[in-house]
Amino acid sequence: MEHVLFYGTLRRGFAVRRELRVEGMLEWVGERTVSGVLHDLGPYPAMTLGDGTVVGDLYRVLDPAVFDVLDPYEGYWPQDPAGSWYQRVRVAVADAPKGAWVYVYNRPLQARAVVEHGDWIAHRNARPSPGEHF
């Protein structure tokens, strides 16, 4: 059984999963934390591997074809990992014995703010922006 963890605009409460039409391909398991560092890129976050905690929503993958939609959305191209904006990697997470896929940023961050508490929803709620699909 495959799992994927979303920490940004694909989390519950955002319209992106519905807009991408992947909701029926996934089953929500619950909120979980993983090791990493969350960075604010403006309209969306970036996670890097590291010593911190990132809050996300864990989903069971019901249809592996979901990655045919998620990979391009996240700027991950399996045929060109080095040129991708994000890498899809497995991370350890509770309730996912084989770990969960997560999209990790693959570009220089150039002094982007770190979201210290690691929760994108709490961060966005602290500074809402106009037009947010939340």
Cross-strand pairs, 27:
60
The distance in angstroms from the start CA to the end CA of the chain is 29
What pLDDT sits at residue 15? Answer: 92
- How do the pLDDT tens digits run along the chain, 134 residues long? 899 999 999 999 889 999 999 999 999 999 999 999 999 998 899 999 999 999 999 999 999 999 999 999 999 999 999 999 999 999 999 888 899 999 999 999 877 889 999 999 999 888 755 555 54
Phi, psi for residue 8 in degrees, rounded to 5 = -130, -125
- All structural domains of the chain, each given as residue ranges with its CATH number in brackets, are 3-123 (3.10.490.10)
What pLDDT sits at residue 134? Answer: 46
CB neighbour list of residue 99: distance below 8 Å, 6 or more residues apart: 3, 90, 91, 92, 93
